Amino acid sequence: MTSLRLLSLFHSLLVLQVHLSNQLEDNKIPPSLCTGHPGIPGSPGVHGSPGQPGRDGRDGRDAAPGEKGEKGERGAPGETGVRGLTGDRGDPGEKGERGQPGECAVAPKSAFSVKLSQGQTSPLNVGDAVRFDTILINEQGDYNSETGRFTCKVPGVYYFAVHATVYRASLQFDLMKNGHAVASYFQFYGNWPKPASLSGGSLLHLIPGDQVWVQMALSEYNGFYSSSKTDSSFTGFLVYSDWKNSAVFA
């Protein structure tokens, strides 16, 4: 009987020891069993590693608009850009209104044709102008039958032609412009039974006031001749004018 009690007591102590051992291992000793003085503070721990970045915060509310700033200074001009490609051709525009009738411009005119009359005596002196005294056409009055000279009124290029019937003597004459020979002509006459002919022409550029005429070159070569069947003539006319933006000519 006594042995059983001792055995039961021993078993209870063993269970209690095991229970207290487990609490000591788990550092869960009840304060009622073990109380001591507070320990001294421990040394600071080492810094921990940086944490992960936090999430983006929410967008803030719009602030009130600020005051308008002052206008800045004008910047320097930029470099010229590369020329662009040619654009497509546009559509044809609408037809415009009919314009007012303009004035009818008449082209400038100048022309004459004259000849020697029958029995006209040719000049015998060198330097004398041949006076073609029969007017065939001279509407502008640019040729003077008294002097045998043509006077330019319209600037431009003119053509002059001389046709001479040569008879009874050889003939030599010059086409003159302002006292200078611009062309010379000669025909020998050898006592032929019939007249010979001599013709020539030249283009001349004239300005208003210029004069053109036919002049004897040698006094002994003066075989100008005119009859009812053959003539000696002098002709000139304007080929084209130099006037630009010319007004209306009457």
User: pLDDT for 129-145, tens place per residue?
Assistant: 999 999 999 999 999 99
Give CA–CA dist 41/31, Å, rounded. Answer: 20
Give CA–CA dist 215/181, Å, rounded. Answer: 9
Say whether pLDDT at 238 is over 80.
Answer: yes
Query: Tens of pLDDT along 167-190?
Result: 888 888 999 999 999 999 999 888
Determine the average pLDDT of the residues in 80-106.
80
| In contact, 198 and 231? CB cutoff 8 Å | no
Say whether pLDDT at 35 is over 70.
Answer: no
Query: What pLDDT shows up at residue 250?
Result: 42
Give CA–CA dist 79/161, Å, rounded. Answer: 66
For 15, list phi and psi in degrees, rounded to 5.
-65, -40
64: Cα separation from own chain's centroid: 56
Reported residue count of the chain is: 250
Determine the average pLDDT of the residues in 195-205.
92
Query: What pLDDT shows up at residue 249?
Result: 47
Say whether pLDDT at 21 is over 60.
Answer: no
Give CA–CA dist 212/204, Å, rounded. Answer: 9
pTM of the model: 0.56
Give helix then strand counts, H and E, for the chain: 1, 10
Per-residue pLDDT band for 10 (boundaries 50, 70, 90) equals low
Burial 60-72 (b: 16+ CB within 10 A, else e): eeeeeeeeeeeee
| In contact, 204 and 182? CB cutoff 8 Å | yes
Domain boundaries, the chain: 110-239
Per-residue pLDDT band for 106 (boundaries 50, 70, 90) equals confident
CA pseudo-torsion sign 20, 21, 22, 23: positive
Least confident among 65-69, 115-119, 155-159, 180-184: 65-69
Query: What pLDDT shows up at residue 54?
Result: 74
Reported as type and span, the H/E element at residue 23 is helix 2-25
Give CA–CA dist 218/141, Å, rounded. Answer: 30
Determine the average pLDDT of the residues in 66-95.
85
Burial of 52 (0-12, 13-18, 19+ CB in 10 A): exposed
Query: Tens of pLDDT along 36-79?
Result: 677 787 777 777 788 788 787 677 677 778 788 888 888 888 88
Per-residue pLDDT band for 31 (boundaries 50, 70, 90) equals low
The owner of tokens 């209306």 is: 248
Q: Which CATH number fits domain 110-239: 3.40.640.10, 2.60.120.40, 3.30.70.20, 3.40.50.720?
A: 2.60.120.40
Determine the average pLDDT of the residues in 217-242.
88
| Amino acid (1-letter code) at residue 77 | P
> Which residue in 123, 212, 213 sits closest to 171, CA to CA?
123
